[in-house]
Structure 1
Amino acid sequence: MSIRLIVGLGNPGAEYEQTRHNAGFWFLDNLENSDMRWQKEAKFSALVSKIRINSHDVWLMKPQTFMNRSGLAVGAMARFFKMAPEEILVVHDELDIAPGIAKLKRSGSTGGHNGLKDIASALGTQNFWRLRLGIGHPRSQNLKSPVIDYVLQRPRREDQDRIDDAIGRAIHVIPLLCDGQFDKAMKELHTVEK
């Protein structure tokens, strides 16, 4: 089993482009590949691109629903291409991880992330891969902002630089995930984090 679909979570629209909640979109924007050609696909409510990584065809997706309805897009594509949940990697912002850290995880709780909740509901399981990009929590930065405001704001410059570094390290392990080398990918990504 290997990754066949990489979903970057975010909200569509220019007003959200630079907000923390769009970390999944940032990841896909940084996944440099000469094959990448984004197309709007109405039946999936998403922008999609098909690329090759290590001789594997891999779909990329940016749902064009808002975050809380991401399951519509992911579920539709998974059913259409008969993808198992274990073949899906969802890249998303993670409040409980500091900026600059990226962690791979398979299944488990959605941690209150509404995009993940909707995807789990659409797939009928939480048994899919996640790439969690740390954005930090407002409390960890002594901010009084409610979480909903925090995720819809731009990160501070130093936090953005850390997030960008984590994205670069995470992109480096994508070929391993596409080859089905999940343990090796996790070890490589998480060892760098120490």
Structure 2
Amino acid sequence: MRLIVGLGNPGDDYAHTRHNAGFDAIDDLAEQLRATYWKTECGALTAKVKYRGEELILAKPQSYMNVSGGPVKQLCATYRIAPADIVVIHDELDIDPGTVRVKFGGGLAGHNGLKSIADKLQTKDWTRVRTGIGRPPGRMPVADWVLSLPKKEARDDFDQATHLAAEAVLFLLENGLEKTQQRFN
């Protein structure tokens, strides 16, 4: 069993903002895998699906981004999932819009959602699908950038990146980390 977590903030005010790239990618995965039933458990919205015989739990923590580690830890405990069997999809400032990068472990790039997960799990050893949103223009504060809705062509890049993130997860499950990095990085 694997846990696929999309990071974001709950509520309509944050829907489809750059910071909710993980939620949008999970929604894409859920549609592709025909998830029909969502429930609230362990502080997250979850759907169980099967992909090529493997059971997956798709999750969108319903706490705010900076405390998303709590629901992730609870899901791991409930389903006895090891950190190595977690895939976290999240927004990434240092990656060009419209692209994704996949990695296992490593630094957290100042991302508060990742910091929370690392703190609660006491490890950084899980897979990340980093969804590019780019840096804010000019002197726009980062918080304003990540919590804003992409407009016009930036919307196309954002939608492309969240779809690619979903595709990267499926490719990862079929082909492993190295081949996924070769294809998507």
Shorter-chain TM-score category? over 0.9
Number of residues of Structure 1 aligned to a counterpart in Structure 2? 183
Contact 2:103 2:177 in 1 (8 A): no
Paired residues for 1:1-194 under 5 Å: 4-31=2-29, 32-41=32-41, 44-138=42-136, 141-142=137-138, 144-179=139-174, 181-190=176-185
SS in 2 for 1:181: helix
Contact 1:35–1:52 (8 Å) recurs in 2: no
Classify 1:153/1:35 alpha carbon distance in 2 versus 1 (closer, same or farther; 3 Å): closer
Instruction: Decide whether the 8 Å contact of 2:99 with 2:131 is kept in 1.
Output: yes
Which deviates further from its counterpart, 103-112 or 29-38?
29-38
Equivalent residue of 1:91, what SS? strand
Query: Distance between the aligned counterparts of 2:170 and 2:28, measured in 1?
Result: 14
Report the more deviating stretch, 68-77 or 168-177: 168-177
- 1:95 offset after TM fit, Å? 0.6
TM value normalised by structure 2: 0.93
Letter in 2 for 1:175: L
Q: Which portions of structure 1, spanning 4 or more consecutive aligned residues, are displaced by more than 6 angstroms?
A: none
In the alignment, residue 35 of structure 2 is paired with which amino acid? D
Q: Cα gap change, 1:156/1:89 in structure 2, threshold over 3 Å: closer, same or farther? A: same
CA distance in 1, matches of 2:10, 2:184: 29
- In structure 2, relative to structure 1, the CA distance for the partners of 1:19 and 1:169 (3 Å cut) is closer
Tell me, in whole angstroms, the C-alpha distance in 1 between the residues paired with 2:146 and 2:35: 31
Distance, in Å, in 1 between the alignment partners of 2:37 and 2:4 is 15
User: Distance between the aligned counterparts of 1:83 and 1:46, measured in 2?
Assistant: 15
How high is the sequence identity, in percent, across the aligned residues?
A: 42
- How far the C-alpha of 1:180 sits from its partner, in A, is 6.0
Greater displacement, 161-170 / 3-12: 161-170
Indicate the SS of the match to 2:116: helix
One-letter code aligned to 2:181: M
Q: Deviations over 1:138-161 (max 9, x none)?
A: 1xx33x211111111111221121
